[in-house]
Amino acid sequence: MYLAIITLPLLGSIVSGFFGRKVGVSGAQLITCTSVIVTTLLAIVAFFEVGLNNIPVSINLFRWIDSESLNVLWGFHFDSLTVSMLIPVLIVSSLVHIYSIGYMSHDPHNQRFFSYLSLFTFMMIILVTANNFLLMFVGWEGVGICSYLLVSFWFTRIAANQSSMSAFLTNRVGDCFLTIGMFAILWSFGNIDYSTVFSLAPFVNENIVTIIGICLLIGAMAKSSQVGLHVWLPMAMEGPTPVSALIHAATMVTAGVYLLMRTSPLIEYSSTVLILCLWLGAITTVFSSLIGLFQQDIKKVIAYSTMSQLGMMVIAVGLSSYNIALFHLVNHAFYKGLLFLGAGAVIHAVADNQDFRKYGGLRPFLPLTYSVMLIASLSLVAFPFMTGFYSKDLILESAYGQFYFSGTVVYCIATIGAIFTTLYSVKVLYLTFLTNPNGPVVNYKHAHEGDIFMSLPLIILAIFSIFFGYITKDIFIGLGSGFFADNSLFIHPTHEIMLDTEFAVPTFFKLLPLFFTVSMSVLAIVLSEFLPKILLSFKFSRLGYIIFGFFNQRFLIELFYNKYITGLVLKLGGQTTKVLDKGSIELLGPFGLEKGLITLSRNIANLDTGVITSYALYILIGFIFYILIPYLSLADNSLLLLLLLALFSVINIYSNRKSKDITILEANIFSYYFSLTLKILNHNKLTRIGFILFTVSLSKIIFNIGSESFFNYNNLIAALLTPLSLKYAFYFACLGLILKIILNNFSITKNEKRAFFFVIFISLLKVFASGGFSSGFDHFLFTLNLPLNIGWLANPFIVYFSWIGLSIYIHDVVLYFRQNNALFMDAGIGNSSAGNGASSPSNQVPGSPSPNQVIGSPSNQDTRRPSLPSGYIFCIYDVSVNQKMDELLFRLSSYNRYNDLRFKKSNFFTHIVGRDLTPFSDREKTYIVRCGNNTLGEGRVYIEDGPNGRGLMYWNRRKNVALEVTKNDIDEVYYWIDFARRQR
């Protein structure tokens, strides 16, 4: 039975959608209506079995996601909340299906329409019956897709397409936050199953619960059209009227409120989320009521009344009165569905005109429609003994019964919203049925009641709008009813206010909303019927014009969105598409890979020149590589230099230059690449940037082989200077700076910072100077380059920039010599001795550098402390254990269980606060200490009373180096430090 409740609407949708041409219009209507009606009957049986008898039912069909860290079942859970939601969803849906047979009788796309309606119902059933957040999200997105399809059903209307797109995109904002909330739940609880999450909620930090609750609340805001994300709701009225009844009465708009009620065991532990719900609902109630009072479209007025009633439900959620919120949701579905279907009957009778100012006097022509809309309106304004009376006024009483300042204020705001609700309800009824005729003659000439398919649902919903609230009051909100004994709705004991609502609220405040309802109804009728001049004089006054225009334009929120938010987002998206998506694809495609391959193939074809000297060049280059490659490795400092010298020698021969000497410009290039080579061989991550730059230059030379430009000396120089050329200078400088910061743990020295910013500054000057500066500026730069004796070069700016790069890297090379006392240290370059006291391979810790690779450390007789880059990671490895170490992270102000570690600005370790140094008390224990990529060697780490106080000491017996980490040297600069701990 329970699987039939889920699957029957889907089967009806499939038959009507895919086999509509086979079964015909009548067959599609019969199959979909029958499937939904049978589902409704089964849901009523489930309500009796699960709800009234308190027998929850769970069904697990199959495993959906089965991984080590996440297990998700395709399962459904039927409890009292689920079956209570199924009652309005399926009853209203089945009546809308029947109503649509008559309303859509002349539409040529009946099969598609009924398929969408059944699919909408199926997705809503998935949403309310899911037993985990992921399956609920499937139904959540499904109703969003179906609403888009139904609102744009008449897709030939531009307004319908715009409205469906607005609904779709606005709901995507809420869906984004809902997705974030689901990821937060998975991260916090390790699962997304309802039972797991709700059972662990009391043990989770309140801040985490608050973040999750806010994300879920924003998702509910979009789906339930709360203020801020409400703009899609009135625009969705462009769809057929049965769609409006289905979306705004029982299905989509109630999904957000259902989500808040379903997660009550979670949000009950966050007072912040409850307060936000309380005030959000109050603002939405009065906001939508004010806008609805100044609308002229009959369906939009009812839509804003839906928004107002949803605000009342959110108020109840904020008061932790989830049972009252559910009771009002069920009641609202019936009388709001009746209002929409009654409005549809009016629109159908007057040739699809929705402006109720052009109605008037329709009561004699549409007596049944007038009667049912009167019943629905009375229930909406909470007239005594109607369905809405039992739940709406109870929410107001609960707000006052909270006995907090916020509850009293919300009670006043919601009462004002109820007053405006009364006014626009009377306005719609009076201008549609009771006033003098204001429309064209054709409206009355052909006005008629609908057929049996349209009238029967109205009568059934009218009965529900009168009696349902009275019959089910004790079930949903009765004290001690036990309907929610299965804990589907959870109210924290400190938030329980039902007794205060029933017995502590003064009678005056209980009757105050009713008094305003009756008095405002009488006042509106008196002003409209007997004192119309007062209303007209106010309407045509300057103040009335301003007030009417402001509220009729819905507080100008749509204008604000379009002007300041939508335009900015579209512009940003357009630029992103142009630069990243479209730009990257074109760069890799027609302007990148394709063009490069064409150029490469053309240049390779040009190698066959037929000139003997060209062939001699190829032979010479191949011979040089054949000699050098077997005997020289990339680790040799002279390899790149020899390659460049050989290449320039060949170039000198083919350039027919008179002088065979290397020019100053060539020396610049050699020095530039030589310094990069030194850095590359020093295993510094930053210097790989230099290797990238060299690769770019070399690739440009290779692509020019065989072409005429290859034999042009100036073009070859420009190719070698590609990283410094006009086109690439700024980009490579920025890339170098970014890579430097990232690869070195976001630390950078002052000299490097100055150098890189200077390069960026000069690069910007180059870019700007190339944009059409006067020749005087070029002459000025040329004057600066006179000592270079290279006036033959076409662009002196390139040479000027090469000197800047040369000065920067010469500075780095000098620092390198000064710090290392030698050009090549024991870093795997040349001969390296393994007998310097290094540990055996068996004692080597996996992942750590070998102890003999000591870069930047003093010699054996040098007692100076090694110069260590600031901000690097200081790791201690236990060499007695040959296995991978865990890393214990210490950081400031994050977790109280971790103690603070501080690192000084200078190049020495300085301070540990509160660290338990007991593991290092063994003086015989041997460790390997590493700082960044530099290994200080093998030594002992222990605690000792040093000259600066008690602290952590490091002793390297071979290097005779001692580093101390004591308490006294405190600095304000903080870094991350990882200590590797031993694991036996």
- Tell me the pLDDT tens digit for each residue of 668-684: 444 444 444 444 444 44
Q: Is 89 part of a structural domain of the chain? A: no
pLDDT for 921? 47
Indicate if the pLDDT at residue 711 is higher than 60: no
Q: How confident is the model at residue 437 (pLDDT cuts 50, 70, 90)?
A: confident
Q: Is 98 part of a structural domain of the chain? A: no
Domain identity same for 746 and 880: no
Q: What would the pLDDT profile of 817-840 be if each residue is shown by its tens digit?
A: 444 443 333 333 333 333 333 333
Domain identity same for 595 and 616: no
pLDDT for 745? 53
Indicate if the pLDDT at residue 374 is higher than 90: yes
Indicate if the pLDDT at residue 943 is higher than 90: no
Domain identity same for 453 and 312: yes
pLDDT for 984? 27
**For the stretch 210-244, what's the b/e string if a residue is b when 16 or more beta carbons lie within 10 angstroms of its beta carbon?**
bbbbbbbbbbbbbbbbbbbbbbbbbbbbbbbbbbb
Token pair 């269980």 is found at 897
Indicate if the pLDDT at residue 812 is higher than 60: no
Domain identity same for 545 and 569: no
Q: Which of 153-162, 279-288, 604-613, 750-759 has the lowest mean pLDDT?
A: 750-759
Q: Is 763 part of a structural domain of the chain? A: yes
Indicate if the pLDDT at residue 580 is higher than 80: no
Q: Greater confidence, 885 or 737?
A: 737
Domain identity same for 640 and 743: yes
Indicate if the pLDDT at residue 305 is higher than 80: yes
Q: Greater confidence, 623 or 949?
A: 623
pLDDT for 497? 83
Q: Is 578 part of a structural domain of the chain? A: yes
Indicate if the pLDDT at residue 807 is higher than 60: no
Q: Which of 558-567, 650-659, 917-926 has the lowest mean pLDDT?
A: 650-659
Q: How many CB atoms lie within 10 A of CB 273?
A: 25
Tokens of 12: 């009806």
pLDDT for 626? 64
For residue 934, list its beta bridge partners: 931
Q: Greater confidence, 194 or 973?
A: 194
Average of per-residue pLDDT across 243-257: 86
Average of per-residue pLDDT across 660-664: 38
Domain identity same for 623 and 593: no
pLDDT for 279? 93
Domain identity same for 780 and 859: no
Q: Greater confidence, 305 or 540?
A: 305
pLDDT for 257? 93
What DSSP line would sit under 225-283, residue for residue? Answer: T-TTS-THHHHGGGS-HHHHHIIIIISHHHHHHHHHHHTHHHHTT-HHHHHHHHHHHHH
Structurally, the chain folds into a number of domains equal to 4
pLDDT for 210? 93
Domain identity same for 693 and 719: yes
Final residue in a domain of this structure, among 600, 624, 659: 600
Average of per-residue pLDDT across 700-716: 45
**For the stretch 137-161, what's the b/e string if a residue is b when 16 or more beta carbons lie within 10 angstroms of its beta carbon?**
bebbbbbbebbbbbbbbeeeeeebe
pLDDT for 217? 94
Average of per-residue pLDDT across 773-789: 35
Domain identity same for 498 and 445: yes
pLDDT for 748? 56
Q: Greater confidence, 78 or 436?
A: 78
Task: Kindly report the average pLDDT of the chain as a whole number.
Answer: 71
Query: At what angle are helices 322-349 and 80-103 packed, to 10 degrees?
Result: 0
Q: Greater confidence, 915 or 758?
A: 758
Average of per-residue pLDDT across 858-865: 34
Domain identity same for 805 and 873: no
Query: At what angle are helices 664-681 and 713-720 packed, to 10 degrees?
Result: 30
Q: What would the pLDDT profile of 863-892 be if each residue is shown by its tens digit?
A: 333 333 333 333 443 333 333 333 322 222
Indicate if the pLDDT at residue 373 is higher than 90: yes
pLDDT for 65? 83
Q: Which of 138-152, 704-718, 739-753, 899-913 has the lowest mean pLDDT?
A: 899-913
Q: Is 8 part of a structural domain of the chain? A: no
Average of per-residue pLDDT across 108-122: 92
CB under 8 A, 24+ apart: contacts of 712-719? 713/651, 713/655, 713/657, 714/792, 714/793, 714/794, 716/651, 717/665, 717/669, 717/793, 717/798, 718/795, 718/798
Q: How confident is the model at residue 565 (pLDDT cuts 50, 70, 90)?
A: confident
Average of per-residue pLDDT across 135-153: 91
pLDDT for 169? 87
Final residue in a domain of this structure, among 820, 837, 868: 820
Q: Greater confidence, 869 or 448?
A: 448
Tokens of 495: 């938030």
Q: Is 841 part of a structural domain of the chain? A: no
Report CA Rg, the chain.
40
Q: How confident is the model at residue 749 (pLDDT cuts 50, 70, 90)?
A: low
Indicate if the pLDDT at residue 763 is higher than 70: no
pLDDT for 754? 57
Q: Is 11 part of a structural domain of the chain? A: no
pLDDT for 882? 33
In percent, the amount of the chain with pLDDT more than 90 equals: 25
The answer to whether the CB of 935 falls within 8 A of the CB of 928 is: yes
Indicate if the pLDDT at residue 385 is higher than 60: yes
Q: How confident is the model at residue 628 (pLDDT cuts 50, 70, 90)?
A: low
In percent, the amount of the chain with pLDDT more than 70 equals: 63
Q: How confident is the model at residue 898 (pLDDT cuts 50, 70, 90)?
A: very low
Domain identity same for 954 and 857: yes
Final residue in a domain of this structure, among 800, 820, 840: 820
Domain identity same for 538 and 580: no
Q: Greater confidence, 866 or 452?
A: 452
The model's pTM is: 0.63
Q: Which of 461-465, 704-708, 950-954 has the lowest mean pLDDT?
A: 704-708
Q: Is 833 part of a structural domain of the chain? A: no
pLDDT for 708? 44
- Give the structural domain span for 439: 111-552
Cα–Cα distance for residue pair 741/732, rounded to 1 Å: 14
Q: What would the pLDDT profile of 18-50 be if each residue is shown by its tens digit?
A: 998 888 889 999 999 999 999 999 999 999 999
Indicate if the pLDDT at residue 228 is higher than 50: yes
